[in-house]
Chain A
Amino acid sequence: MTRVSDPGTHWEVTDPARLATIIRLRAVRMVAPQGFGYLGQALSSAEQVAALFSVMRPGRDRLVVSPGHYVIGIFAAAAELGILPEDQAAAYGQDGSPVEAIGTERSPVADYVCGSLGQGLSAAVGFALSDRLTHKDRRTFAMISDGELEEGQVWEAAMFAGHHRLSRLTVLLDANNSQVDGPVDTITTIEPIAAKWEAFGWTARDIDGHDVDAVIKALAEADDGNKPYVLINRTSTTHGLDCLPPDADGHFIKLPAELAARAEAELNARLEGHK
């Protein structure tokens, strides 16, 4: 089993926009056998995942995925880039498979995956602190979600990271405004997100999370300052898949066979356009 920071790990991204489309296509194929699943998370984070694999240094930097439901997008990218064997990607979420649909301690590819929400930033903070203590040239990237901001532990970790000026720590916050009970802003007001992180000692940027070039540019500049950096990616759980019904439940999208076929056709046509 390979993780992104394992010595000798190698991958190369030549076309991030195309990789984002491939992530969507592979996620459709991973969810289709069951007819429902965490497709919305892959759709909202596809550009962030493509950007991450474009910026992370293989065999050196570390990746933490806090919302375990997002591992689908990581697995999709990793399979495409040759880090995750195809048979493991195909076993996603099946009985007896170590590649569980909600990520676990044993999930491949990322260095640390949490299944219970709100806990990943603390792990990323611990990794960044460890690297500082051992003088390693290594960045830590953490994917977190906007719904997780409701959990207190996120802010405990944010305050700690700000205090310790963990500048090698970069957070990708997927602001897709989706949680189980509906749009995040109808459940709890989490805005202004950037101002909250800045108040905790972070550098914060707020961008269109589906602009893959902008995400890559921001991730590259995030390592320059003397503070931890949070990139707030404004996204949608249905982005890049026009055939989904407008009322699709972003947390857990239903994908019956007929819709899966249309999704596959739409994404294949888009891939042709990337060529």
Chain B
Amino acid sequence: MTDLNQPPYPVVLKPYGQSLVALAKERADIVCLTGDLTRQCEIDLFQDSYPERFIHAGMAEANMMGVAGALARDGFVPFVHTFGVFATRRPLDQIINAIAFPRLPVRILGFMPGVSSPGGPSHQAIDDVALMRAVPNMTVVDVADAIEVRQVASAIVDVDGPVYVRLKRGEIPLIFGDDHELRLDRADVLTRGDDVALFASGMMLAPALAAARLLERNGVSVSLVNVPVIKPLDAATVVSVAEAATVAVTAENHTVIGGLGSAVAEALAEAGLGRPLRRVGLRDTFAEGSRTGPYLFGTYGLSTQALVDAAWTALGRRDPVPVAEVAPAEEGEYSPV
């Protein structure tokens, strides 16, 4: 893992917002829509730079998706921004009929994925990947760090058909080195090991890295795979890595139903590959009672320890589980719980 930073990770602010402005300079066909969450989605930068291509849809997500679909029919590439919950739950019918069925190039950016929000169940996108995965023609992306975030707008702008991207809000950790390339056509195998195949997406890459390091120190070798694209899944890489390991573990900031864990399970089953599988994520529950994201990540089993526990039990180990320690993070740094 020599090309990866170590926790606590340095953080950057608004990498997505800056990259969209840079892309829009090259691409006059990009229009930017907001559902009353402009600064929260980092597109105040776009509003300042290209006000004539910036559209306030207000708190009206169903209408926003319908308008975006029609703009795409006329040759624009709409980037649509709101929180992940409001981007997927409320306007699902509009996304399906006005965007996905006609296979239009609408790019839907859903901020505050999973339990990264302190806003309670109404503001937690714990099912957005499942909802968007179920929609035909939709590409589903969950990027892991600021290096990937900076590249995501360019990576998706010319994808055939609609794309859903979930993006962490606020301070974004720098995990990869500058030379890391976000590719939509393959999952990244970051380490090779023959005990555990660990598949992580989005915000769960950071705890997955910490878990992999702890397991290695305790004699368990890990193949760690970063899976930024949940659909279409790079099934070939998933199956080959799992085949070379004894057990498989998935890690997602999302319900374990319908997201990365389900996608990996389907790929393994369809390949006829039997491996004990543990899916780490929300266990079919809403997440309640929060002031802070880390509280929820710890309480609902999205921690480094939860990943180590999952690998340990999948391997059938009876000896004490290694205990994860959280790297203390100062202001301007990020550590997973």
Contacts and interface: CB of A to CB of B under 8 A. Distances in A.
B291 A150 contact: no
Contacts of B122: 68, 102, 104, 114-116
Contacts of B90: 116
B40 interface: yes
Given A98-B289, A100-B289, A181-B38, A188 B56 contact: yes
26 contacts: A93-B291, A95-B292, A95-B295, A96-B295, A97-B291, A98-B288, A98-B289, A100-B120, A100-B290, A101-B119, A101-B120, A101-B291, A102-B122, A103-B120, A115-B119, A115-B122, A116-B122, A147-B36, A147-B59, A152-B60, A152-B63, A179-B58, A181-B38, A181-B58, A187-B56, A188-B60
B37 interface: yes
Given A114-B122, A116-B122, A181 B288 contact: no
Contacts of B201: none
A34 B121 contact: no
A148 interface: yes
A118 B123 CA distance: 14
Nearest to B117: A102
Interface of B is mostly: loop
Interface string A111-125: 000111110000000
A95 B289 contact: yes
Contacts of B39: 180-181
Contacts of A100: 120, 288-290
A117 B63 CA distance: 15
A96 B60 CA distance: 32
A147 B58 CA distance: 8
Given A95-B289, A147-B58, 13 more contacts: A68-B120, A93-B291, A96-B289, A102-B120, A104-B122, A105-B121, A147-B36, A150-B58, A151-B59, A152-B60, A179-B59, A181-B34, A187-B36
Where chain A touches its partner, the secondary structure class is: loop
Nearest to B62: A152
A179 B295 CA distance: 28
A95 B290 contact: yes
B118 interface: yes
Which residue among B38, B40, B59, B121 has the maximum number of chain A CB atoms within 10 Å of its CB? B59
A102 B119 contact: yes
A106 interface: yes
A130 interface: no
A268 interface: no
A9 interface: no
Given A101-B120, A115-B120, A181-B36, A150 B59 contact: yes
A226 interface: no
B85 interface: yes
A180 B40 contact: yes
Contacts of A151: 59-60
A152 B64 CA distance: 11
Contacts of A180: 36-40
Contacts of A147: 36, 58-59
Contacts of A106: 288
Interface in A146-168: 147-148, 150-152
Contact of B118 (A101, A103, A181, A188): A101
Nearest to B292: A95
B73 to A, nearest CB: 21
A148 B291 CA distance: 25
A104 B40 CA distance: 22
Contacts of A104: 120-122, 288
A150 B60 contact: yes
A34 B59 contact: no
A115 B121 contact: yes
Contacts of B291: 34, 93-95, 97, 101
Contact of A148 (B59, B120, B295): B59
Interface in B295-337: 295, 299
Interface string B245-289: 000000000000000000000000000000000000000000011
Nearest to B295: A95
B219 to A, nearest CB: 35
A187 B56 CA distance: 6
B60 A179 contact: no
Most A Cβ at <10 Å: residue of B34, B90, B299? B90
Contacts of B119: 101-102, 115
B289 A97 contact: yes
A22 B309 CA distance: 49
A34 B291 CA distance: 9
A114 B37 CA distance: 19
A102 B117 CA distance: 11
Contacts of B34: 181
B128 to A, nearest CB: 14
Listed from nearest, the 8 A-B pairs whose CB atoms lie closest are A115-B122, A95-B295, A188-B58, A150-B58, A116-B122, A150-B59, A100-B120, A102-B120
A169 B221 CA distance: 64
